[in-house]
Each structure stands twice: as structure tokens, then as C-alpha cells.
Amino acid sequence: MILLRERKEMTEKFKNMETAVIHAGYDAKQHLGSLATPIFQTSTFTFDSAEQGEKRFAGEEEGFIYSRLGNPTVNALQERIAELEGAEAGLAFASGMAAVSAVLVALTKGGDHILCSQGVYGCTFGFLELLNEKYQITHDFCAMETAEQMEQLIRPETTCIYVETPINPTMKLIDLELVARVAKKHGIPVVVDNTFSSPYLQQPLQAGCDIVLHSATKYIGGHGDVIAGLAAGTKEMMHTIAMTTLKDVGGVISPFDAWLLLRGMKTLPVRMDRHCENAEYIVEQLKKHPAVKCVFYPGDQAGKDFAIMEKQMRKGGGLISFEIHGSKQQAQKLLNDLSFIKIAVSLGDAETLIQHPATMTHSGIPEQTRKQMGISDELIRLSVGLEAKQDIWEDLQQALDQLEEAETPVQSHHQ
Ligand SMILES: *Cc1c(COP(=O)(O)O)cnc(C)c1O
């Protein structure tokens, strides 16, 4: 069965990402000149004859069979993400978690071990627990600041190193080149969840990592209207995943959702530039506000990870987290006092979104582990949108001012 179409030798190589996000993976000439990628909203494909069906299944003839095994709209998307990440091949999934789980299951078997960055997306944490409970696939978290830290935890059974950078929601960075170097020495593949950066800001394969994956729900879709996932890597690895944990587990993307991503991706560089510009401005303002205890942002020159940011990212991204003076109640009050900034999980949308990790995205993690991960009750995560930066700040500022005012002398009186 042919699941992954061979990526055609591009007659035109796209030197710049701004061009690739618009053109890669789609040739209008093959589709009656349609400028937009057609949506092949079909579950199955008809064969001209029984013999043709036999050849398609035998992999002797190229062509589509059934949309779980391959679909032209989905293929265009897969080729585009491969091009953007500088990979041989790409895969699309029904959600970011479908991508995470398909990749992790493909790289492990019962008894294996995963070395994981300290702090991962809440549901990725949940999936690691599930792998442990059901299949005795264990994991260790590692700060990955030095080769020694990693080597202390690498075992003969370690078959995957899984990294998130920036780490959700603390915005700490991991040096991808360092991780790739240590992994190569031990022959272990490195998987990077690149959701927070998108390929425009960071390309993990160029740093020597092996598989990159995304919740395309976030910056790649960019408009808060689709749940989807993507992965990219070598043709061999993507083919293995396509034939097993994609095809047989079945977390495939729908043609319409693939089309939404192809559409959203066209503006990825333009949007990311604005997200970054707005975030940089908000960080500077937050740092000056007396209700704010500290701000975490990879693009902050004063931040401890700034050198890593400069090495592997184009800019600091659109996500900020910050701690306020006070407690969980004050964090909740801040969220409630906002006007157009929306209280919602997810990120990377045109709308500025704010959430409270301790009680929302990371509430499933035991309190002690959560605090070790740096997720305090006063930590707030902000996905800076595309609105005017002055308007975003004005909304935040009035809510922060209210926190300050609520802090009356009576309340802060000590016994
Ligand atoms: C949202 C997210 C996921 C999960 O993606 P879904 O599309 O919601 O399934 C995985 N990793 C990170 C970093 C995310 O932000």
C-alpha cells in the first residue's frame, strides 16, 4: 500500500519560508488550475477495475484507496509541513495528541524507557502515565541542562528522548543541539514538540533532532477553529508510523481540517512576526507593573535562557507566563477582571487568551510534581494575540491595577 506519496523533486526549491508556506506541496496544474487546494471530501476512491484495486493494494500502482490511508488534500498538507521543517516526509493527525501518541507508541515497546524534558503538555504527561500503567513503559523527567544530567538517566532500554521547548507553561528552553548530541552518542531518536514555536521560529531537525511534531491546533492553524496534529521526520520513520500507529490506530485528520491548516499556514510568518512583536511589548510592560512578581519569556534579554533562544529560535514567540504577588484567588480575580482578553486554554490564535495552568491545563498533575515543574498557583499563561499591543496592555493593566487596589492595608496586616 502506498500511504506516503514520494515527495516530488521540487522543480522550484523554496529558499524562504514565507514562500514555502504558500506554495509547498500543491501544484495548481494538477487540479484544473484551482488556486486554493481542493477539499477531497471523500471517504473512499473508486478503482477502474478489480485488477487496478489489486495493484493499488499491492503497492504496484500509485493512487488512492481509502481516506484513512491517504487523501490528496491531506497529502498536500503533509508535503507542506515536511518542507517547512526541512524533513523528508510529513504526517497529519486528528489532533496534536494523536500525533504525540502515534509517535511515542511507534518508538517504544513494553519495558522501554522514555527520557522526557522536565515539564510537558498536560495530556502528554497523562499519556506517559498511561504507557507506564498499561505497558510498563517508564519515563524519567530531566532538566536537560547538561549532558551529565541526561546521561545519568539514559538506560539500555531508553528508546526515545522527548523534548518540549519552550516548556509549557514555564517557558524554559532546552538546548536542542546539546540534546541531539547526547542522543546521537547513544543512538536514541529525539522527538521535539515544536507547537509553541512553529517551524517559522524553530526547526528542531536542523539542530540534529529526528522527529518534530505539532499541535497544529495552535499557531499552524492559527485561527482557533480546528483541532489537528502534524509530524515530520525521515521517510522511513514517517512510513513506519503511517503504516502502524496512524493507519491502524486511526487518528487521521479530515480533508476539511487539512484544508483549514493549508489555509492558515499561508499567513504563519506574518502572524508569528506580529505575535512576537506584541509579546515583546507586553513583557516590557508586565515587568514594570508592581502586581507582577516575575515574567518568563524566551525573548527576554535578561532571561536566563536568552542565549539558547538566540541559538535556536528566530524570535521569542507569542507566549508569556508570569507570576503575580498573591495566591490562586488573586490569579483568578485577574482573569475575571479582564475585558476583551478571553479566558481559555489553547494558544496561538488571533485572540489574546489567558489561562491559569494550576487549575486548568496542568490541574491533572499531582500538586507536588506540578510545583517541582515550576507551576505555582500564582502562575498565569498568556497567549498574546494579534490585536493592537496597546489595547492588549490596557486590558491587562486595568486588571492588574485592580489587584493592587484590592491589596488593602487591612488584608496585608501581619499578626
Ligand atoms: C495543545 C498542545 C498539545 C496537544 O494538541 P491537541 O491538538 O490539543 O491535541 C500538545 N503539545 C502542546 C505543547 C500543546 O500546546
Residue 93 dihedral angles phi and psi, to the nearest 5°:
-135, 165
Ligand 1 pocket check for 300: Cβ under 6 Å: no
Best of 97, 100, 120, 163 to mutate for ligand 1, by most ligand atoms within 8 A of CB? Answer: 97
- Cis bond upstream, residue 169 (ω within 30): yes
CB atoms within 10 A of CB 275: 29
Spatial distance between the Cα atoms of 261 and 219, rounded to a whole number of angstroms: 10
Q: What does the mean pLDDT of the chain come to?
A: 94
Q: Name which residue sits closest to atom 2 of ligand 1, judged by CA.
A: 215
- Which grid cell sits at 48? 477502474
Looking at residue 370, its pLDDT comes to 87
Confidence class for position 122, pLDDT limits 50, 70, 90:
confident
Looking at residue 152, its pLDDT comes to 98
Ligand 1 pocket check for 361: Cβ under 6 Å: no
Quote the ligand 1 centre to 193 CA distance (angstroms): 9
Spatial distance between the Cα atoms of 228 and 25, rounded to a whole number of angstroms: 18
Would the pLDDT of 92 be above 60? yes
Quote the ligand 1 centre to 291 CA distance (angstroms): 30
Q: Among 46-50, 228-232, 360-364, where is mean pLDDT lowest?
A: 360-364
Quote the ligand 1 centre to 97 CA distance (angstroms): 6
Ligand 1 pocket check for 113: Cβ under 6 Å: no
SS (HEC) of the chain: CCCCCCCCCCCCCCCCHHHHHHHCCCCHHHHCCCCCCCCCCCCECCCCCHHHHHHHHHCCCCCCCECCCCCHHHHHHHHHHHHHHCCCEEEEECCHHHHHHHHHHHHCCCCCEEEEECCCCHHHHHHHHHHHHHHCCEEEEECCCCHHHHHHHCCCCEEEEEEECCCCCCCCCCCHHHHHHHHHHHCCCEEEECCCCHHHHCCHHHHCCCEEEEECCCCCCCCCCCCCEEEEECHHHHHHHHHHHHCCCCCCCCHHHHHHHHHHHCCHHHHHHHHHHHHHHHHHHHHHCCCEEEEECCCCCCCCCHHHHHHHCCCCCCEEEEEECCCHHHHHHHHHCCCCCEECCCCCCCCCEEECCCCCCCCCCCHHHHHHCCCCCCEEEEECCCCCHHHHHHHHHHHHHHHHHHCCCCCCCCC
Ligand 1 pocket check for 227: Cβ under 6 Å: yes
Per-residue model confidence as pLDDT tens digits over 235-258:
999 999 999 999 999 999 999 999
Per-residue model confidence as pLDDT tens digits over 134-168:
999 999 999 999 999 999 999 999 999 999 999 98
Quote the ligand 1 centre to 307 CA distance (angstroms): 26
- Which grid cell sits at 140? 524519567
Ligand 1 pocket check for 357: Cβ under 6 Å: no
Per-residue model confidence as pLDDT tens digits over 300-358:
999 999 999 999 999 999 999 999 999 999 999 999 999 999 999 999 999 999 999 99
Would the pLDDT of 9 be above 90? no
Q: Among 11-15, 61-65, 200-204, where is mean pLDDT lowest?
A: 11-15
Residue 278 dihedral angles phi and psi, to the nearest 5°:
-65, -40
Rounded to two decimals, the pTM is 0.94
Quote the ligand 1 centre to 82 CA distance (angstroms): 19
Would the pLDDT of 1 be above 50? no
Looking at residue 408, its pLDDT comes to 56
Quote the ligand 1 centre to 89 CA distance (angstroms): 21
Domains of the chain: 10-265 (3.40.640.10), 268-406 (3.90.1150.10)
Are the C-beta atoms of residues 74 and 92 closer than 8 Å to each other? yes
Would the pLDDT of 96 be above 50? yes
Would the pLDDT of 45 be above 50? yes
Q: Name which residue sits closest to atom 6 of ligand 1, judged by CA.
A: 96
Best of 215, 260, 375 to mutate for ligand 1, by most ligand atoms within 8 A of CB? Answer: 215
Share of the chain above pLDDT 90, in %: 89
Structure-model confidence comparison of residues 371 and 177, the more confident one = 177
Spatial distance between the Cα atoms of 274 and 9, rounded to a whole number of angstroms: 33
Q: Name which residue sits closest to atom 9 of ligand 1, judged by CA.
A: 96
Buried b (16+ CB within 10 A) or exposed e, 162-181: bbbbbbbbbbbbbbbebbbe
Ligand 1 pocket check for 97: Cβ under 6 Å: yes
Quote the ligand 1 centre to 124 CA distance (angstroms): 8
The strand pair at 292-296 and 319-324 is best described as antiparallel
Q: Name which residue sits closest to atom 8 of ligand 1, judged by CA.
A: 96
Are the C-beta atoms of residues 385 and 352 closer than 8 Å to each other? yes
Ligand 1 pocket check for 71: Cβ under 6 Å: no
Per-residue model confidence as pLDDT tens digits over 72-82:
999 999 999 99
Amino acid in position 213: L
Looking at residue 4, its pLDDT comes to 43
Residue 86 dihedral angles phi and psi, to the nearest 5°:
65, 40
Looking at residue 409, its pLDDT comes to 53
Selection from 142, 146, 139 nearest residue 113 by Cα: 139
